[in-house]
Amino acid sequence: MGGNSSNGSGSKNNGPKNQGPWGQPPRGGNNNTPPELDELLRKSQQKLKQVLPGGFGPLGFVIVVALLFIGWLATGIYVVQPAEQGVVLRFGKAVSTSLPGINYHLPYPIETVLTPNVLTVRQTSVGTNARTGQAESHMLTGDENIVDVNFTVFWRIKADGAADYLFNVQQPSVTVKMIAESAIREIVGRSNLQPILTQARQETEENVKLLMQSSLDGYVSGIEITQVQLQKVEPPAEVIDSFNDVQAAVIDQERMVNEAQAYSNQVIPQAEGNAQQIVQRAEAYKQSVVAEATGQAARFISVYNEYAKAPEVTRDRIYLETMEKVYGRTNKIILDSDGNGVVPYLPLNELNKSNKGAN
């Protein structure tokens, strides 16, 4: 076996030196330079000899160096698209920013440029792991209930934060998602379950947005949160049926309360109106009684004054007036005891009736 190994190695070492790695002879006359490069250099020298007067001498060398230098300077020209912002790096450090259009920086490797898109609104979904499909949104509320929250965060690079976005945050999407999860858990942990499910959704979104923006600004991330949109807010699937029953009972309760409130709004104004009417009638009766009493008192005083002047005359007049009122509604004829001027057999009752009928 040793002899075979020696013969094999000898055949490899003793092969022709001009063969390639697979035994073929190299193409071209030069063993160290590929024929394509030799041909390219030869053609380039011929073109330079045609262009440069006197061949490729010192002047030609200067011209070539000048052209190469101009080409090197031209590498600093760059274009920033309308939705982008240029961040110029000098030896890797951000030194300035540039607006959309044609711009210039010092040639490579002195300066380079990065052009992140600052107008595109990116979105990050929170609640479900995209790789595993498992829920990440179970949270504990302030009243010790479990709620399942899925939401989407819309964000973009700040107008003046492109450099911060590129160098202060290593993985922006992951950072936004982690901060969003932390913010929603803090906000939900301070809130009760019922408002989050019903009327406080918009307030929850705004609070999460403000808290996220505060955290990102603390990291100097150059990221602006434009909107937080709650997609799903509900109890876990394991207890959703029981929760729906509770919600139905709450809805019935609210309906009954609203009906009672409507009835109250109808009855109370009516009762108040009736009470006001009774008060007004009593006030009118009071004024009437007071006025009548005042009139009677004034009449009594006037009669008393007349009586004080002529007691006998006043007494007779009052007596006659009283008798007139008492006997005015009767069919009796009262005569003086003397009967002067009266015919005893005159039918006074019939005459009286006829006089009343004539009147």
Q: Residue 223: which CATH number?
A: 3.30.479.30
Residue 228 and residue 261 in one domain: no
Residue 85 and residue 187 in one domain: no
Contact 28, 34 (CB under 8 A): yes
Overall domain count for the chain: 3
Q: Which residue range(s) make up the domain with 109? A: 77-114
pLDDT at 285: 93
- In-domain check, residue 290: yes
pLDDT of residue 226 exceeding 90: yes
pLDDT at 180: 92
Query: Which of 114, 137, 171 corresponds to the end of one domain?
Result: 114
Residue 187 and residue 254 in one domain: no
Mean pLDDT throughout 219-230? 92
In sequence order, the β-bridge partners of residue 149 are 233
Q: For residue 239, count other CB atoms closer than 10 A to its CB.
A: 13
Query: Is the peptide bond between 109 and the residue preceding it cis, with omega within 30 degrees of 0?
Result: yes
Residue 131 and residue 214 in one domain: yes
- In-domain check, residue 43: no
CA dist., res. 151 & res. 232, Å (int): 7
pLDDT at 227: 93
Q: pLDDT digit string (tens) for 123-153?
A: 998 876 655 555 567 888 888 888 888 899 9
Residue 206 and residue 219 in one domain: yes
Mean pLDDT throughout 91-99? 84
At 27, is the pLDDT very low, low, confident or very high (cuts 50, 70, 90)? very low
pLDDT at 54: 55
Residue 194 and residue 227 in one domain: yes
- In-domain check, residue 9: no
- In-domain check, residue 69: no
Residue 230 and residue 287 in one domain: no
pLDDT of residue 163 exceeding 80: yes
pLDDT of residue 166 exceeding 50: yes
- In-domain check, residue 5: no
CA dist., res. 129 & res. 192, Å (int): 26
Mapped onto helix, strand or coil, the DSSP state of residue 132 is coil
At 45, is the pLDDT very low, low, confident or very high (cuts 50, 70, 90)? low
Query: Which of 62, 91, 114 corresponds to the end of one domain?
Result: 114
- In-domain check, residue 35: no
pLDDT at 358: 54
Residue 304 and residue 247 in one domain: yes
Mean pLDDT throughout 270-279? 92
Q: For residue 141, count other CB atoms closer than 10 A to its CB.
A: 19
Query: Which of 202, 235, 268 corresponds to the end of one domain?
Result: 235
- Which contacts of 262-265 are long-range, i.e. CB under 8 A and separated by 24 or more positions? none
pTM for the full predicted model:
0.51
Number of H helices, E strands in the chain: 10, 9
Q: pLDDT digit string (tens) for 234-243?
A: 887 777 777 7
- In-domain check, residue 30: no
pLDDT at 15: 45
- In-domain check, residue 157: yes
pLDDT of residue 202 exceeding 50: yes
At 101, is the pLDDT very low, low, confident or very high (cuts 50, 70, 90)? confident
pLDDT at 287: 93
pLDDT at 29: 43
Residue 27 DSSP code: S
Contact 77, 67 (CB under 8 A): no
Higher pLDDT, 246 or 183: 183
Residue 250 and residue 317 in one domain: yes
Residue 267 and residue 184 in one domain: no
Residue 88 and residue 164 in one domain: no
Phi, psi of 294 (to 5 degrees): -65, -40
Residue 108 and residue 211 in one domain: no
pLDDT at 213: 93
Higher pLDDT, 86 or 347: 86
pLDDT of residue 26 exceeding 50: no
